[in-house]
Amino acid sequence: MLASLRKAGSLARAASAGQRRFLSIHEYQSVNLLNSYGIPTPKSIAAKTPEEALEVAKQFASTGCVIKAQVLAGGRGKGHFDNGLQGGVHIVESPEQAKEYASKMIGAKLITKQTGAAGRICNAVMLAERRDPSHEYYVAVLNDRNIGGPVLVASSQGGMNIEEVAAKDPNAIITTPIDFENGLSKTEALGLAKKLGFKSSGAEEEAAEIFIRLYKIFKDKDATQIEINPLGETSDGHVLCMDAKFGFDDNAEFRQKDIFALRDISQEEPSEVEAQKYNLNFIKLDGSIGCLVNGAGLAMATMDVLALHGGNPANFLDVGGGATPETVKKAFEILVSDPKVKSIFINIFGGIMRCDYIAEGVINAAKELSLQVPLIVRLKGTKEPEAKEMIRKSGLKIIPFDDLDEAAQNAVKLAV
């Protein structure tokens, strides 16, 4: 169940061997979505310039506010910017201080445990009124494979990494199955609120209503995950969603135009964005061997064989069974645009995919791009003889192999 909480991460995407873009949106966008369903949050306003941050902070003069870098990554508070600023979340004491923080955050890259060393660009900040909770809870709505449907996961130990809580005290996690069609009943929601230990009947009522409405968003908007951490109970007895993370199913883009219009491609790997335009399943990795393969299973096996021989793949790339010479050429362009790539390994099994289409795309790309990187090619299956003849006649320095192990060994050797 808790593995589902990590589905939006890049490692899970790579392991699933397919480019499923579980869309994430910024915190300020999540707050707006929550508010549109009547779910209470601290008042929050986004700013995209230091001057805007100054004006927004003036609106919170009576309560004070918190400024948060809007970057699609966890661990923002413990991260650091490439300009030296420590932390992506700060308490603000004055409008002038808000402007100062914003000037250092906007346009800089925030580096957290989830972004990798390159970090991610911060294009906006969110300023939120200070509402200090007396107790913090955790709540999430997601799909649970074991149960075969949606569940609401909750804990009275919020404001921290929920997986650490689950590891230390599994009994602290309460999982409530949700009827897909009807959602949570008021009785179920109130029962969960009582189990969590809210301090007053009024707070229990507010929490229960939040649980019910969170599932309504989940279903209405084709979400894959809604995570509220923390869900705060304030000293005056109210319950607020203090932080929110959403994930949405990319297969629902055709009917969730308003949600997918919120996508921020500046937070994504540019090569992956380019690949999506051509329906290429591409995930950038950190190695030096570019891979172009057809079929997710063969792509994973190719990466494993490279690793077995001491190599590191620079990417996962499945061109699929319906690739044309044009899409193969684009895939090749994406591979050679990575300066880390020292050799390219093309491993094709021609079932639905025709080997001659691959050969044509590769030859065209190699000629146009004046390829300098060693190119190792293994083609088996449909139109294999024709493809090999095309490569032979091309006059290009393309190194052909029939044996997978031998091809992988040479790809590793030439990538040194």
- The question of whether 227 is a catalytic residue gets the answer yes
Q: What is the distance, to the nearest Å, from the Cα of residue 34 to the centroid of all Cα atoms in its chain? A: 20
| Calpha distance 183→176 (Å, rounded) | 11
Exactly one of 28, 137, 138, 357 is catalytic; name it. Answer: 138
Exactly one of 188, 209, 227, 233 is catalytic; name it. Answer: 227
The answer to whether 51 and 87 have CB atoms below 8 angstroms apart is no
The set of catalytic residues is 138, 227
